[in-house]
Amino acid sequence: MARSVYVTGIDRGDGRQVVELGVMELLTRQVDRVGVFRPLVHDGPDRLFDLLRVRYRLSQDPATVYGMDYHEATALQAERGIDELVSTLVDRFHRVAREYEVVLVLGTDFAGTQLPEELALNARLANEFGAAVIAVVGGKGQSAESVRAETRNAFRAYESLGCDVIAMVANRVAAADRAAIAERLESQLPVPSYVLPDEPALSAPTVSQIAHHLGAEIVLGDDSGLARDALHFVFGGAMLPNFLNALTPGCLVVTPGDRADLVVGALAAHSAGTPPIAGVLLTLDERPPAEVLTLAARLAPGTPVLSVSGTSFPTAAELFSLEGKLNAATPRKAETALGLFERHVDTGALLKRFSVASSGRVTPMMFEHTLLEQARADRRRVVLPEGTEERVLRAADVLVRRAVCDLTLLGPVEAVRKKAADLGIDLGATQIIDPATSELRQRFAERYAELRAHRGVSVELAYDVVSDVNYFGTLMVQEGLADGMVSGSVHSTAATIRPAFEIIKTKPGASIVSSVFFMCLADEVLVYGDCAVNPDPNAEQLADIAVQSAATAARFGVEPRIAMLSYSTGTSGTGADVDKVREATELVRAAHPELRIEGPIQYDAAVEPSVAATKLPDSEVAGRATVLIFPDLNTGNNTYKAVQRSAGAVAVGPVLQGLRKPVNDLSRGALVSDIVNTVAITAIQSQAAS
């Protein structure tokens, strides 16, 4: 029987979706197969389930997610009574529970239903499902004392109805009251209580949502611009100087369409990053002349300009009644919601209260969740030299929203800010440094000249060298101004790691710098090394790569069982290539008897139990290897790419190992998710190095 978690509330408007999303994140970190069940559903699309389905790659048939709609439930209760309604919902829940390790139950939403005693119905369903309960209380617009009282009363209500309440959440409270509410609840409730402040970016509609709601015509703008949050509204009517003073970051400018001066002024301010706006909404069914729109498109490419037929006053009334929603089309809101949840909820303690046993395997999603959690647990600063690259900025947006680590972006400051503004990204307090103009340049030049004096490098020459973003970023790491560096999305591997070889160098005990890829397969994560750095390592170097790779695997939650790969298994083959692998294996065994290692061994015998049973039946590694060491770069690089493309594996890396401080290289085809994962890995490496 699956263990289930029932997230419920006491009234509408509690912002419960943040908690439901956060709980789903925790459950998928723990187990492979998580089901979703919503006992009662309204007509129309279920935005939250759509988000969960896309984000967590759920294969669950949507038809099994829902018990019944509210109309059917009301009719059934009226005709046959509450017991029959509950019995039917329990049957439909168990159809889901039989198929999954754990089920997240999304309680009723208290929104315009005709069901009496909706709180009691949620409590009874939770009990019948055998589900642990997390109850959410909305605190928006309420005093601190009111929030505390409602949270206590909600706990007593669910507890008195026999529920296993494992946590209480007060959500959307005033930020100034959060700490005081949390302190009082901690002393007044016997279960953990978490207090989440109101986050304006979550309730702010996106420009796309505004366009859809108003039936507006999109005059200018692209998908990135339409995804921006409209945090405020500024109504244009004043003369341009006063109007510009009224602009705020993330605002949507609402102005009559014949005020071309305000349109151009707002977009020029956005282009300069002072401040970046969400977009412009033109009223009165008017729009500036074509030449003005052409100028507008050049001033702020991608920034939305919308047009509606109504006047400003009724348009304002519509805007102020509109609230943003979490859905599959707003992934950045989801990152903001998860960041909020993870900052204010002790996720480790809450996960233990779920009583959900971990899956015996590590899936790619579980691996990615673990990376972010480990990085967040001891926040570090990572420098990203490619500060004007779109993928890097989008990754920075995710990392900032999730509070994974602190970041430094390198590049011309205004260029970085403008690019971020064009993408609708709020970099917040993210540090931006231009190596060409930084006051650190002279200091770094002197330090680099000192390190490379044996090569005849003068301070004058070094002054030019350190203006390169990769050298500057590496020196930030060397000098303790950053804990790690990630580059390579637009730079070659050599350009990324050469500065590290020159400046940071190898750590004690490591004879070589090497690399691994984390190969995230459908149901496990394997470690491949070395597939990126060393063309033809000798036996001693191969042994070093194996030891380093095992340590890296263990650091990231993969139990190391090392396979030293070759074209033959055991004693069946001879020749220089096989002998090199055999010698490397013996060197590891002699120096590290605690490590489980097998070699030489062929790939199929390393990973397939049926083959291992024939070729090496007594091996504790064969058939279940997790760390696979290739004899040379040619073999390793081609194999990882073949597995990546043919098996649909996610390859995270290359992750460099052996350096005194972490520097990691990206593929020039890296996706935003690859960059996020690599930054998290770098932050974790720096934790181990300190």
Q: 507 — alpha (psi -120 to 50), left (phi > 0) or beta?
A: beta
What's the maximum distance between 2 C-alpha atoms anywhere in the chain? 92
Closest by alpha carbon to 341, among 141, 179, 195?
A: 195
Neighbours of 522 (CB within 10 A): 11
Give the span between the Cα atoms of 629 and 549, in whole angstroms: 8
Q: Where are the alpha helices (DSSP H) in 238-278?
A: 240-246, 260-272
Residue 348: both structure tokens together? 């480790």
Q: CA distances (Å), 93 to each of 63, 127, 614, 640, in order? A: 12, 12, 45, 42
Give the span between the Cα atoms of 361 and 367, in whole angstroms: 10
Give the span between the Cα atoms of 86 and 128, in whole angstroms: 8
Residue 525: both structure tokens together? 């994560």
**398: Cβ contacts below 8 Å, ≥ 6 apart:** 332, 335, 404, 672, 676
Closest by alpha carbon to 533, among 621, 644, 412, 655?
A: 655
**Domain residue ranges in the chain:** 3-199+336-344, 207-320, 362-503, 514-658
Give the span between the Cα atoms of 476 and 359, in whole angstroms: 40
* Topology of the domain comprising 207-320: 3.40.1390
Cβ proximity of 475 and 468 under 8 Å = no
Closest by alpha carbon to 134, among 178, 183, 194, 184?
A: 194
**What's residue 173's pLDDT?**
93
Reduce the DSSP state of residue 339 to 3 states and report it.
Answer: helix
Query: Rg of the chain's alpha carbons, rounded to an integer?
Result: 29
Burial of 370 (0-12, 13-18, 19+ CB in 10 A): middle
**What's residue 618's pLDDT?**
85
**What's residue 249's pLDDT?**
87
Closest by alpha carbon to 478, among 456, 455, 452, 454?
A: 452
207-320: same fold as 3-199+336-344?
no
Q: CA distances (Å), 486 to each of 80, 464, 683, in order? A: 63, 22, 10
Pairing of strands 431-433, 279-283: unpaired
**What's residue 2's pLDDT?**
52
Name the CATH code of domain 3-199+336-344 (choices 3.40.50.720, 1.10.760.10, 3.40.50.300, 2.60.40.1730): 3.40.50.300
Give the span between the Cα atoms of 540 and 473, in whole angstroms: 32
Cβ proximity of 271 and 243 under 8 Å = no
Closest by alpha carbon to 448, among 410, 484, 475, 419?
A: 475
**What's residue 3's pLDDT?**
82
In DSSP notation, 214-246 reads HT-EEEE--HHHHTSB--EEEE--S-HHHHHHH
* Residue 600: cis peptide before it, omega within 30 degrees of 0: yes
Q: What is the CATH number assigned to the segment(s) 362-503? A: 3.40.50.10950
Give the span between the Cα atoms of 176 and 147, in whole angstroms: 13
Q: CA distances (Å), 645 to each of 101, 124, 521, 534, in order? A: 30, 49, 11, 23
| Residue in the structure block whose two tokens are 């019995």 | 87
The class that CATH gives domain 514-658 is alpha beta
Residue 171: both structure tokens together? 């959500």
Kindly give the parts of the chain with pLDDT less than 70: 1-2, 111-116, 355-363, 572-573, 689-690
**What's residue 203's pLDDT?**
86
Give the span between the Cα atoms of 607 and 275, in whole angstroms: 55
